Amino acid sequence: MHPSGRWHISIRFDDPTIKPLPVNDNAIGIDLGITSLIATSNGEKVSNPKQFKKHYKRLKRAQKNLSRKQKGSKNREKARIKVAKVHLKIADSRKDFLHKLTTNLVRENQTIAVESLAVKNMVKNHKLALAISDSGWSELIRQLDYKCLWYGRNLVKIDQWFPTKRCGNCGHTMDKLPLNIREWKCPKCEVIHDRDLNASKNILAAGLAVSVCGATVRPEQSKSVKAGAMKQKPKS
């Protein structure tokens, strides 16, 4: 039972109505972020709904009310449940948004390349922990994982981050590219890059390199490919 009082039941079974989607030639690279939840190799950005921030005032009021109640009293228990319900609302809203997003990605693309992020280690940075947790990166990857399995899609996980400072057009790598620089011009080919969109193109290139190198990526098992350099993370 959830702290809010909601009951959950988990049942596992094979659903014969779930069948692989028709194969297509679409492939997409996805770069995860905070301001933009994802940036894709086809030039799109999806804003982060930031559900915790959206419900913060309501949560703060509920927590303040809880702190005023006497420990062990019935009123405190009622106040505790109200706090738990706000947390549940945040989690439900976040998960619903991610389900719609991941379902669309899986329907439209045969191959999806993403970063394999060590979120547990990243949230140890207290300044960014809340923003990272509110983004729901782990849940997004989890949903992509099983939906690709269900629908016959290929999910390629890149073990190490490809650098945002590598030009996705010519391959030139900048010596320095501070996180506050969100757009930059390649000195070699003179192409102007959006930092996040460029990263998504590099991620796609790494994912497609799996096939070029002779590896196979099966729908029932995500494959990963190691990149040669680290990309600075997280970003806003």
Per residue in 49-82, pLDDT tens?
999 989 989 999 999 999 999 999 999 999 999 9
Neighbour count for residue 59 (Cβ, 10 Å): 17
Task: Specify the pLDDT at position 156.
Answer: 93
Contact 163, 229 (CB under 8 A): yes
Which residue is catalytic, options 115, 139, 183, 220?
115
**pLDDT score of 167:** 92
As given in the structure block, the two tokens for residue 154 are 């290929």
Q: What are the tens digits of pLDDT across the range 95-126?
A: 999 999 999 999 999 999 998 776 655 666 66
Assess whether 115 carries a catalytic annotation: yes
How high is the pLDDT of residue 133?
85
Selecting among 134, 145, 190, 196, the annotated active-site residue is 196
Give every residue of the chain whose pLDDT is below 50, as ranges. Answer: 214, 216-234, 236
At residue 126, the pLDDT reads: 66
Task: Report d(CA 229, CA 207) in Å as an integer.
Answer: 15
User: Counting Cβ atoms within 10 Å, is residue 203 exposed (0-12), middle (13-18) or buried (19+)?
Assistant: buried
Catalytic residue among 15, 31, 108, 145: 31
The side-by-side arrangement of strands in the sheet containing 223-225 is 45-47, 36-40, 27-32, 111-115, 154-158, 223-225
